[in-house]
Amino acid sequence: MLCVVAFVVVLVLSAVSARYRRLLGRAWGCAWRKVTFRACDTTFRDDVKSSLLAPLAVRAPRLVTPASIAIEVTAWLMVLSLVVSLFILGRSGLNLFVYGTCDKQDAQSCSLAAEMCSIDAGPIGFWESIGQGDVVGAFGNEFASLGETFAAVPSRLRDWDAADYAAADATYLGGYTSGLPTALEIIDPGCRFCAQLFRNMREGGFDRTHNVTYLVYPIVTDDGPRFANSPLVASYLTAIRAYDDAAGGPASGADWAILETLFTQQNADGLDWQIWLNTASATEARAQLHAWLGEAGYGPGQVAEIAALAGSSETARTLAETRAVVEEEIRTLAIPSLIAGGRLRSGLVDADTLRGID
């Protein structure tokens, strides 16, 4: 492996100094034979080792043999490190292209990704598995994850149509306007980046140029919901749509009114409603949702019916179907995600970008 390391070093040095370029051909010839599992048929490897060991041979001849072994071991470690680094770089770049993040296990930890709340991507990472002593599982999970990423590449290159993923009883921000393109956002009511995306849409006028609808997706980790009351809010948003749809009349827009309040307004104490909701008890959160339904024009009996529907198996089934769409069809790792203009955009989209989406 010494000639492989030497080639990399010579390649770097030759980029900054012409004096090393005459060695580049010899270094490459030896390195290429080595990586293709053939013996190096030049003296380049011996020349490199001799130049490293010559000073030691003069001062301490007995140390030449162990030093020679140490050089070979170091060369192997450097080549292994190079291969691993190139693999990580390639994998991260592919993940960034496919999912909008270089780290599938923790999407928001990737500094190159947009601002987002990450979805749990399944098995633990490579080094966590190594730390637990599961070497076989570490490599198995790594290659399985890479295979999933490769399999998702074609879907990211195709033209995305938001209408394909809209709910059957979808409602639209500000109401549906014939002739405008459809845009679909995937949101968690507790994620602060979803709130910012909503504000960016208002600022950029995106809701006036697109029929904006949503899929509600409460993020769930191994420890439970990422935001404690998001499943409760999701069940009420889903129940409102189903209740209005069953009534046979136009959608009330109460689900969007609740989202707008959550994402843009503050309570009497000056605290953002979203922050309050993420720390409130389930009883407090449910009472506040009932109050917002009353403000939207629903009577006490209607509120009770919506509450019962929110806790029903029908709503649970609808939420499970929505989760399957997000995880198995759209396959995003970022909340929020936005399908608009023929593309899937992962993470927060700024107002200027929204203005430029057709």
**pLDDT at residue 197, rounded to an integer:** 97
Query: By CB neighbour count within 10 A (0-12 exposed, 13-18 middle, 19+ buried), where does 305 fall?
Result: middle
How many whole angstroms separate alpha carbon 93 and alpha carbon 330?
Answer: 20
Q: Is the pLDDT of residue 16 over 60?
A: no
pTM of the entire predicted model: 0.76
Tokens coding 35: 């990586």
In this predicted structure, the answer to whether residue 301 has a pLDDT above a threshold of 80 is yes
Q: What is the pLDDT of residues 259-268, one digit of tens each?
A: 999 999 999 9
Q: pLDDT digits over 117-138, tens only?
A: 988 666 666 666 666 767 666 6
Tell me what the mean pLDDT of segment 228-255 comes to. Answer: 90
pLDDT of 317 strictly over 50:
yes
Rounded Cα distance between 332 and 304, Å, is: 35
How many percent of the chain have pLDDT more than 90? 51
Q: What's the pLDDT score for residue 109?
A: 67
Comparing 86 with 42, the larger pLDDT belongs to 86
Q: What tokens were used for 355?
A: 């203005």
Through-space distance between the first and last CA atoms of the chain, rounded to whole angstroms: 54
pLDDT of residue 315: 97
How is 217-263 classified by DSSP, letter by letter?
---EETTEESSTTHHHHHHHHHHHHHHHHHHTS----HHHHHHHHHH
SS3 151: helix
Specify the pLDDT at position 54. 63
pLDDT category at 15 given cuts 50, 70, 90 is low
| Mean pLDDT value of segment 32-37 | 59
Q: What is the mean pLDDT of the chain?
A: 82
Strand ranges for the chain from DSSP E: 117-118, 182-187, 211-216, 220-221, 224-225, 334-335, 337-340, 343-346
DSSP string computed for 284-297: HHHHHHHHHHHHTT
Please state whether 350 falls in left (phi above 0), alpha (psi between -120 and 50) or beta. Answer: beta
- How many residues are recorded in the chain? 358
Q: Any idea what DSSP says for residue 164?
A: G
Quickly state the pLDDT bin for 94 (edges 50, 70, 90): confident
Q: Kindly state the average pLDDT of the residues 189-201.
A: 97
> Cα separation of 227 and 28, whole Å?
55
Q: What are phi and psi of 267, to 5 degrees?
A: -85, -175
Structure tokens at 121: 């991507």
Q: Is residue 52 scored above 60 in pLDDT?
A: no
- Mean pLDDT (whole number) for 305-318: 97
What residue ranges define each of the domains in the chain, with the CATH number in brackets?
162-355 (3.40.30.10)
Residue 25's identity, in one-letter code, is G
Please state, as a whole number, how many other Cβ atoms lie within 10 Å of the Cβ of residue 15: 11
| Percent of the chain's residues with pLDDT above 70 | 72
Name beta bridge partners: 186.
215, 337
The answer to whether residue 20 scores a pLDDT higher than 50 is no
Tell me the C-alpha distance between 77 and 75, whole Å: 5
Q: What angle do CA 124, 129, 134 make, to 5 degrees?
A: 135
The answer, yes or no, to whether residue 5 has pLDDT greater than 60, is no
pLDDT tens digit string along 138-158? Answer: 667 777 777 777 877 887 788
| Residue of higher predicted confidence among 12 and 257 | 257
